Structure 1
Amino acid sequence: MTCPVTGAATGAAVPLSGPRFATEPAQLYREMRRDHGSVAPVLLDGGVPAWLVLGYRELHQVTGDPMLFSRDSELWNQWPNIPADWPLLPMIGHKQPSILYTVGERHTRRAAMIAHALEAVDPFELKAYAEQFADELIDTFCGKGVTDIIADYAMLLPVRVLARIYGFADEQGPGLVTAMNDMIDGRERALAGQQHLASSMFALLADKHVRPGQDVASYMLETQLAEDGSGFTDEEIAQDLMVMMAAGHQPTADWIGNSLRLMLTDDRFAASLFGGRHSVAEAMNEVLWEDTPTQTVAGRWASRDTQLGGRRINSGDLLLLGLGAANADPQVRTDGSALTGGNSAHFAFGHGEHRCPFPAQEVAEVIARTGIEVLLDRLPDLDLAVPATDLTRRPSPWLRGLTDLPVRFTPTPTSAFGDSR
């Protein structure tokens, strides 16, 4: 039996699932590169075929040529074989209204609107918000001497800060945290979480039409009004705000968790636990290369027959962007120097016109770095409460993060939201 897209034996394709994506992804990517080269045939849920781009140069080529490798999911040649209840439809759907699947000039204008809104966020205020919410969260467990950094901190902090800069009232923050984490949970609560997030975004925009403020939602509406009737609808702006919150929350939470895991398990970063700020930045950069939160992105679709990495790619084939695999490509990682000097040539934020906007990257970095620094300031003797070998990760090929990070520390009194630091 052959794959209807690749023409290769389906037995040769690698299922994009299983525990190895959590336990040993680097080894798995090496085996795939050895067996298939820089572009490997894979099978998604239900045996749906696709290509996983493993090579750094090949990924650069795909993301740098939006005409040949389009973001338009309508091109997919597998739509006739996709059932209505396919679990990946929320990720790869028909005619999705968000910026993720907009192409051409409208995508360029939409990306500019988002970048403008995020650039207008005052960086000093952003850091102050991150410090405030970090302190509030730490105050809930600092007197106990033990906590789970993932559940009690990392998975709560980013969305609270994002909600504030988007224009939500602080009392709406906890509900948005619950909705976001229910969506990530992916089970029966996911739909309710998605509905809460959508209704909250539409209500926010309705309020900002009447009472605009110095916030991301208001800045986006200003751009809408400036287009003289040819701008974006409230539905489009709400969809983009939801995408921005989802993309800003989980990867940033995983960036915090993965960086703290590295700092608590690697002696090179021990100084950070005693206030060494430079090491915090180095740990965060190393994570983006070696342990990047966003491992695989779907996707791109070939607009015509072509060749990539020695493979024949047919028109309408789906290509998955192997960001984590490309970062580890031995063709560009011959001496490990990529990790030094703050080298940012990694694919952690993507590449090309559909990459994560630079202002969004800066927002994520401020939230993650501030979250780590405040935690280490408040709990300077933070240490793992379990052996490093007992730490587990979500078994996902898409996002790489810890399921928990148990720690212990000397109990400390609560702060007056920063006054004690």
Structure 2
Amino acid sequence: MSADATDAVPLGGPLFQTDPAGLYRRMRREHGAVTPVVLDGGVPAWLVLGYRELHQVTGDPVLFSRDSDLWNQWENIPEDWPLLPMIGRRQPSILYTVGERHRLRAAMVSDALEAVDPHLLRAHAERFADELVDRLCAKGEADLVGEYAMLLPVRVLARLYGFSDEQGPALVTALNDMIDGRERALAGQAHLATSMARLLADRRAGPADDVASRMLADDSGFSEEEIAQDLMVMMAAGHQPTADWIGNSLRLMLTDDRFAASLFGGRNSVAEAMNEVLWEDTPTQNVAGRWASRDTQLGGRRIRSGDLVLLGLQGANSDPLVRTDGSALTGGNNAHFSFGHGEHRCPFPAQEIAEVIARTGIEVVLDRLPDIDLAVPAGSLTRRPSPWLRGLTELPVRFTPTTALGGTSP
């Protein structure tokens, strides 16, 4: 595969913002289950759109490795390549460890998250969600992305990890600055790194009942630097997709008549909307990546040793070979790829935490804001122009003004 492949599809452009489903269908029709794509700067890669092919890639970590040192394009990657923060070399986090080292590290993370008290998790999520709604409820209008969804997950995660409530707002700013990717991204990253290092030093001196303390207590021999890296990855990976899960689900419920009943106190429809979003409008659309450890075949394509293979999560979710009758969206079917698959998937306890935060966030909005409705035509809602993460730029709503929980206007 070369960067000048004539049939390669640029992994960018307005269709990822306006019609990714149509784009994935066209890719599959014209190129098959494994599509040659070109990243920023003419860098070649393969995008796996087939459900079975993606299952094959994620289920074979030896053939399709997470070790980015294998990449056969490093000599063509400039130091200022914009995707380096996502596809970096020798990154110290859990994302890029392999083999037994990765299994031990993943077990440490999973154990620390699994010990989170589910009742306490729900209580934290409700409290922070109510605080955010208190700031909005007297106005009669709000942007549920910028003023709510993008502020909630990191507050809950920070509390679970061991940060104080007073530290939460600055962490929200840091995470959102990093996601924004502009001039404040480096400052946000520096604040997050400094905060994590300080938290671990505090917890080393005085352990508590939190995720950071449990990871420090693990006997697998990981350094504080490694644990700090994993906590930062977990917070970043948990915040943005969960915020988009909230925003995308609320959009569906406010624009689709099938979910109208849930706006008046129904609960089953909330879960159904969230599940449908994971199948049809998943926050994490595509993931980089895996690298072929040797020459192989995949979906009728010749994959060379060192080729970059991208995981097309949304493309696989919509593969017509597994969606022939539409049954994927019913009965709580969670066989989607929205949390990945295989040993590098999102840990199951992390999935459960994200689901509680998202569902609680949605339910609090529906409980607290009466007769909520879109403030703009549904067709005017816009998405971020990203092939990686799919979420709304804003979700303007209007509602009858009401008072804060304390009985007074915020």
* Shorter-chain TM-score above 0.5: yes
Match status 1:64 vs 2:54: no
Query: Amino acid of the residue matched to residue 91 of structure 1?
Result: M
Q: 1:160 aligns with which of 142, 148, 155?
A: 155
Distance in 1 (CA, whole Å) between partners of 2:89 and 2:380 is 41
> Who is 2:126 aligned against?
131
Q: 2:398 aligns with which of 398, 402, 408?
A: 408
Instruction: Kindly state the Cα deviation for residue 211 of structure 1 after the two structures are TM-superposed.
Output: 1.2
- TM-score of the two chains, using structure 2 as the length reference: 0.98
Q: 1:304 aligns with which of 294, 297, 302?
A: 294
Deviations 1:186-215 (A, max 9, x none): 011100000000000000000000111100
Distance in 1 (CA, whole Å) between partners of 2:44 and 2:370 is 49
Q: 2:2 aligns with which of 4, 28, 49?
A: 4
Q: 2:315 aligns with which of 299, 309, 325?
A: 325
Distance in 1 (CA, whole Å) between partners of 2:228 and 2:353 is 19
Query: Amino acid of the residue matched to residue 355 of structure 1?
Result: R
Q: 1:237 aligns with which of 184, 209, 227?
A: 227
Distance in 2 (CA, whole Å) between partners of 1:244 and 1:388 is 33
Deviations 1:84-135 (A, max 9, x none): 0000000011100000000000000000000000011000000000000000
Q: 1:91 aligns with which of 79, 83, 86?
A: 86
Q: 1:31 aligns with which of 26, 40, 59?
A: 26
Distance in 2 (CA, whole Å) between partners of 1:93 and 1:293 is 22
Q: Which runs of 4+ in 1 moved over 6 A?
A: none
Distance in 2 (CA, whole Å) between partners of 1:280 and 1:365 is 11
> Who is 2:205 aligned against?
210
> Who is 1:281 aligned against?
271
Deviations 1:317-376 (A, max 9, x none): 000000000000001000110000000000000000000000000000000000000110
Instruction: Kindly state the Cα deviation for residue 380 of structure 1 after the two structures are TM-superposed.
Output: 2.8
Please give the residue correspondences for 1:113-128 in structure 2 after superposition, counting only pairs within 5 Å. 113-128=108-123
Distance in 2 (CA, whole Å) between partners of 1:213 and 1:86 is 41
Query: Amino acid of the residue matched to residue 266 of structure 1?
Result: D
> Who is 1:79 aligned against?
74
Instruction: Kindly state the Cα deviation for residue 10 of structure 1 after the two structures are TM-superposed.
Output: 2.3
Query: Amino acid of the residue matched to residue 12 of structure 2?
Result: S
Query: Amino acid of the residue matched to residue 356 of structure 1?
Result: C
Distance in 1 (CA, whole Å) between partners of 2:391 and 2:360 is 19
Secondary structure of 1:208's aligned partner = helix
> Who is 1:222 aligned against?
217
Distance in 2 (CA, whole Å) between partners of 1:254 and 1:11 is 35
Please give the residue correspondences for 1:97-112 in structure 2 after superposition, counting only pairs within 5 Å. 97-112=92-107
Query: Amino acid of the residue matched to residue 125 of structure 2?
Result: A
> Who is 1:385 aligned against?
375
Distance in 1 (CA, whole Å) between partners of 2:204 and 2:370 is 45
Distance in 2 (CA, whole Å) between partners of 1:303 and 1:44 is 21
Unaligned stretches of 5+ in structure 2?
none
RMSD (Å) for aligned C-alpha atoms:
1.1
> Who is 2:145 aligned against?
150
Distance in 2 (CA, whole Å) between partners of 1:416 and 1:304 is 63
Instruction: Kindly state the Cα deviation for residue 63 of structure 1 after the two structures are TM-superposed.
Output: 0.1
> Who is 1:268 aligned against?
258
Deviations 1:228-267 (A, max 9, x none): xxx0000000000000000000000000000000000000
Distance in 1 (CA, whole Å) between partners of 2:168 and 2:285 is 28
Identity across the alignment (%): 79
- Count of residues in Structure 1 that have an aligned counterpart in Structure 2: 408
